[in-house]
Chains A and B, each alone.
Chain A
């Protein structure tokens, strides 16, 4: 290709002049904004709240992030694919906790494999309905949530699933390495691997193209259904993994552990700045959003605010981020 170099206009390799690249300006603005928010929050926590900057508290924050972060990353994938988010996050996770604990007598390897497979298959089926036949994501995932809850309740006869007495095969999931809980390492490992995968793989590129403009992607010969199925499958696997960890942590599994996970996952992805319209964002952003929300909740908790106030503040943060993101876009475009 040396001839190309001769005819190429002057200019170094991967030129990024930034001139006119207002999207990049917006991205840069959002990035510095996020760092500023983190710094301000840490500073505020340290000054105002006793016990915020202690190792114990950092460990506590990260422990809650370990679960929420995992489902937020899954939600991020669905959002990037241009299909909003799943409302079956909590149901999938709860069912996964139950399956994992129920299958432990057959060995942890089998329990692990079947649980994750369940998440992937359930996700793939939703992905097929959304990407393959064009059904609405909200309806499909609400339906899936109902189905999963129904089957879980029916199969467990409403009972809480407990691990076999004396079984210690899953204790390592609750262990600590260098003071931090194992799920935190699993989460960071997942984020690093997934981020690299999305950057370097053909799937990752297609995911972003499909997310931005599914019609154009189809016309460009991309099998859009498979891309959407892929995104939902990975997301389903991650939801199931979070549920599995939660089941091991609680040493019990029932539909109740669903909690506010669905909401938290969406909130974290949105607060992380992933475009709800699809096509843009990284899994790191979802993790960032999860950490931010966990920090805010933690400060409120340490200062003794009730759970109602904590949830309210989370809602306010989501709104604030949506408005700020919009303003940032408008500024960059004008």
Chain B
């Protein structure tokens, strides 16, 4: 299986970064097993693998957050020890994290120099501003350095984070799932900046589940599986992401099945009329029939999340009409929405989804406590039975039902989270915001299967995603939003990725694309 595992970067050059035989064990789990890789200067290396394959461990080691049990790391052939993240940064290894390490209340320039100890203690505003302008121009961002960061879009903030690290002379930039929260053209912007930076001789490690992006951006890709590096190949040799998937999971992935449920139930479903959620959603009307899967897409800030949150009762300012199987549902009251048959899975799995310190069982039954109790007291047998049924349903290891959720991988956490909303007789509308964010390919396929199963059982499904692949894979109907309004609502057969991209950006080239 170890196909070409020692593939070298461009021959003849001295590698900028070398990882040699690095291992790390957590308790009984061998998170990283004898991993070696090299990174040439000016190279973009993709790092792929399942959740739990060892990517995060490798990244944590490279950024000084975790110390390896064995092996060594070298910069330009000189072994280095990375004591902590600050030490790693001073040696030129810096990470742009999934959760941005910026202060939204501070100005752009203050963020650019956040934690930068090179600046003299007495601040010289003129010099600082000059340096800020210089950094901003290098990433091609035309914003006033004095404007507060919160005015910037998520994509722009990502660029600020990159500029901040460039300003501290990071030689190796590690991008950990940088595109998970970005829209398509924001992603293009980030990629353009990365390509520009590697031209200066910097190198980049790009960690992502989005394989098409990996193939698009990277020169080489290294695949991890079960803590080992199983392949390291030039992306020019990889024709399609299916090849990459095969390397990641060690087998072929079954092709996705289309939902056959459309038309199962007639008349049942959700009707949304004139929904407003100031300031994000101006006007939103949509019918989702029982058994139908509607995909909602748009750029960040287009209002898709707020539509779902409003229907779940979590937007107090939401106004408009919302009926479920003909019965009106009160907006602004999550408990009322739940009773009416609305199940919601937030895109913020950790903040607004799971109870990380509680067990799998506790999490699975959290929304069902009413039906599992009599006169205010829990029926223990019924609770355990329900939890056991659900844990099998979402295909999570039943022996771990008593473990706390924080110890599960992202994909399993997401399945546990969805388990709470699925397989309930009383659910009529399933609202899912980014149902597979941060989930690997195999986990994603399983989650999509669960969603289709729910639709087959007659549930109306409305989900939001910024990933076009997911929208196209899963939806019976694709609804595109821009600036808080619906700009297109098309059956799956009538649309394609190019068309949706054009709609998302309200691009005028749409007609040409359609032809």
Contacts and interface: CB of A to CB of B under 8 A. Distances in A.
Interface of A: 1, 4, 7-9, 11, 13-17, 19-24, 200-203, 205-206, 208-209, 212-213, 215-223, 279-280
A11 B370 contact: no
A7 B398 CA distance: 11
25 contacts: A1-B385, A4-B389, A8-B398, A9-B398, A14-B401, A15-B402, A19-B400, A20-B403, A23-B406, A201-B378, A203-B376, A205-B369, A209-B358, A212-B356, A213-B356, A216-B351, A216-B353, A217-B366, A219-B334, A220-B334, A221-B337, A222-B335, A222-B369, A279-B357, A280-B357
Contacts of A209: 355, 358, 362, 366
B83 interface: no
Contacts of B366: 209, 217, 220, 222
Given A15-B401, A218-B314, A219-B312, A202 B369 contact: yes
Contact of B404 (A7, A23, A215): A23
B352 A212 contact: no
A46 B356 CA distance: 43
Contacts of A7: 392
B392 A4 contact: yes
A22 B378 contact: no
Nearest to B338: A221
A306 B75 CA distance: 62
B355 A202 contact: no
A223 B376 CA distance: 14
Contact of A202 (B337, B352, B356, B378): B378
B397 interface: yes
Interface string B22-33: 000001100000
A213 B380 CA distance: 23
B357 A23 contact: yes
Given A202-B376, A216-B352, A21 B385 contact: no
A66 B370 CA distance: 36
Contacts of B28: 19
A120 to B, nearest CB: 17
Considering residues B337, B358, B367, B406, which has the most beta carbons from chain A within 10 angstroms of its beta carbon?
B358
4 closest residue pairs by CB, A with B: A221-B338, A16-B402, A20-B407, A202-B373
A218 B334 contact: yes
Which size bracket describes the interface of B in this complex? 35 or more
Nearest to B385: A1
A201 B376 contact: yes
A205 B402 contact: no
Contact of B403 (A11, A17, A208): A17
Contacts of A11: 398-399
A19 B403 contact: yes
B377 A200 contact: yes
Interface string B358-395: 10001000110110010011101000110011001000
B50 interface: no
Given A8-B388, A219-B353, 9 more contacts: A14-B402, A15-B401, A23-B406, A200-B378, A209-B362, A212-B355, A221-B313, A221-B335, A221-B338
Interface in B325-354: 334-335, 337-339, 344, 346, 351-354
B276 interface: no
Contacts of B397: 9
Given A205-B362, A208-B358, A221 B403 contact: no
Contacts of B399: 9, 11, 15, 17
B420 interface: yes
Interface string B387-430: 01100100001111111101100000000000010000000000
A9 B403 CA distance: 16
B425 to A, nearest CB: 14
Contacts of B401: 14-15
Given A213-B356, A215-B351, A21 B402 contact: yes
A222 B352 CA distance: 12
Considering residues A7, A203, A217, A219, which has the most beta carbons from chain B within 10 angstroms of its beta carbon?
A219
A21 B398 contact: no
A21 B352 contact: no
Considering residues A206, A215, A223, which has the most beta carbons from chain B within 10 angstroms of its beta carbon?
A215
Contacts of B373: 201-202
Contacts of B356: 212-213
Contacts of A20: 27, 400, 403, 407
